[in-house]
Structure 1
């Protein structure tokens, strides 16, 4: 870990803060360095503690997983925040949400130390792995803090930013849109501070239409629909990006595959993913031909669906099917059928 005093004196001014931070960062040195690799980074006047962990199968495609423990310069008088920087699932977790309460399973209090938070990261990843195919649950975790300062330089892997003008009641307002396949955020600078104004799940975006140099977004909320008009600095790049985050395909590719998509218009993908999880768990308990065939069929359906909607998740199910077929015990069952 870097020399912490260089960061402490630059960020924290109150003597109570300095003593607390020095003690807390010293305690991080006793963490298992093989399990938690700690680095410090100063962001504006705040401290970012980067925690790198070993890969967790099947998350992050075998790459190290990075958390950020974000300390405001008012810490410990304000709560720390926990962000994920790495790509883990789809929809993504690396979108700026704060997962402190999901990690702790309670509200933070000043009596909870930083090393206690970090040591709970592995259990949080177990939870993510357990629900990796439940999209609604993945979106329910974490929270955004509306009308508060938003850190736009965390190093999130799965987001993209666009300078835009939002048209409201005929007037134009300068905004920043953060795009991801989980949430779309509206940000605005106020007195040189980036403030989160609103956010909405990307799945609620039902239509994107290019009108000259603007984009008209149609949002669904319960049974109501809301129109939003934005004028990005690069409309073509914006359209490609927002459609990519929404569907996994560019605008051109969407038009080419409209017929294929209609085939899956009413397809219940969550029901299929639930079946995949069910058969995988059953197969762990008992390997038999019936469960094996059901699981392979479910994998094939998932591959077909995600390929049709140009969703990169199809690669995940191709890999699962390949791994399954590569098992010796599975090969024995399949050879007995021949």
Structure 2
């Protein structure tokens, strides 16, 4: 920043701080200087929210106001940091315009903006209660840098594959998965803790997730083509901890009441002329994978002591098979086994005797029953997760979510 710009900004921030000290006792603030700007943290007592829809367990609400290095020539950005409904809006979307209900001007102070937050929360809760739609609330700033650690456990380091005239190129990326949103970031070369936001899309517009059984780390995300788009957005990435990533996406889709289908694509039949040592070994592998698929399907349809133990046995055989061949595919099944044990309903099923099977099935299907279906096709070894339903739009790469 130029010396004159720094002087103007410091003078304006000093003025803002003097005004913030006049906030009512139910509102507290703190100021933190970061490399990417100044962050003003706001704490608001729930008693200021005039709405019966607010969760009574919430005693305080937290917001952050980012003053970028171009402030006051550029508008501040306001982020909600408290989960006040579902799907949440604490995903770095800027809700400034929804709070002030007009275009921001540099004559408007932060003090004025904060005074309007309680009414914004009350209006948001009412809107969620009426139609459960928040897709038109707030916006993201593509091209802006964010601290990558702030995206939490839903953030995964990946490598993106892109096709060029000379072949394929691979780029380091981060993807972040939130309850209703999917983000793609490019790491900052100068500041390792920062990453630039490249693309945002809604989870409801995700059409398909494809994973190749031969290279399980490689995952393809395909978004539904929207009216204003020329092509579908197809993202091909290598994800070391792909199981955790896909499970998290499926979990959020189910919470959004989006039907999820799991499909397995079988290999073609082996011809008699192909029966040799190598073909026999491949046949054994195909049978092993088929048993795993059938066991996974059985658990998807009914969770009880018998189906879970059968799936565990299938995973164990796959681990032993690939380990003996020194094939890294064993890591995939080891991860599947580990994630299976982490599921609460699986632990419950293992602890129940056989006569409790119906109760376990009933408990695992409450609130949501995803549609799971196995289909077969030839000449393919891909595994795909497909979803049906969902009305939210997709955001093309390089474009923000349009407001309705």
TM-score by length of 2: 0.56
1:25-40 pair list within 5 angstroms: 25-34=17-26, 36-40=27-31
1:71 aligns with 2:61: no
In structure 2, relative to structure 1, the CA distance for the partners of 1:61 and 1:180 (3 Å cut) is farther
* Residue matched to 2:123: 127
1:18 aligns with 2:10: yes
* Residue matched to 1:306: 367
In structure 2, relative to structure 1, the CA distance for the partners of 1:15 and 1:43 (3 Å cut) is closer
SS in structure 2 opposite 1:241? helix
Greater RCO (Cα-Cα under 8 Å, separation 6 or more): 2
SS in structure 1 opposite 2:160? strand
1:88 aligns with 2:80: no
1:1-338 pair list within 5 angstroms: 14-34=6-26, 36-55=27-46, 57-59=52-54, 62-63=57-58, 64-133=60-129, 137-152=133-148, 155=150, 160-169=154-163, 170-192=168-190, 194-211=195-212, 212-222=216-226, 225-248=232-255, 256-257=299-300, 306-308=367-369
Q: Deviations over 1:111-150 (max 9, x none)?
A: 0001000001011101111111456741111011222333
SS in structure 1 opposite 2:367? helix
Q: Deviations over 1:201-220 (max 9, x none)?
A: 11111322332112221211
In structure 2, relative to structure 1, the CA distance for the partners of 1:179 and 1:60 (3 Å cut) is farther
- Superposition deviation, residue 178 in structure 1: 1.3
In structure 2, relative to structure 1, the CA distance for the partners of 1:18 and 1:215 (3 Å cut) is same
In structure 2, relative to structure 1, the CA distance for the partners of 1:205 and 1:138 (3 Å cut) is same
Q: Equivalents in 1 of 2:88, 2:205: separation in Å?
A: 15
Gaps of 5+ in 1: 1-11, 261-303, 311-338
- Superposition deviation, residue 29 in structure 1: 0.9
Q: Give the aligned length.
A: 253
Instruction: Tell me, yes or no, if the aligned pair for 1:210 and 1:239 is still in contact at 8 Å.
Output: no
Q: Equivalents in 1 of 2:243, 2:104: separation in Å?
A: 43
Query: What root-mean-square deviation, in Å, do the aligned CA atoms of Structure 1 and Structure 2 show?
Result: 3.2
In structure 2, relative to structure 1, the CA distance for the partners of 1:118 and 1:206 (3 Å cut) is same
Q: Deviations over 1:211-267 (max 9, x none)?
A: 21122212113377543221123222222222223324999999845689xxxxxxx
Please identify the structure whose Cα radius of gyration is greater: 2
TM-score by length of 1: 0.66
Q: Equivalents in 2 of 1:202, 1:72: separation in Å?
A: 29
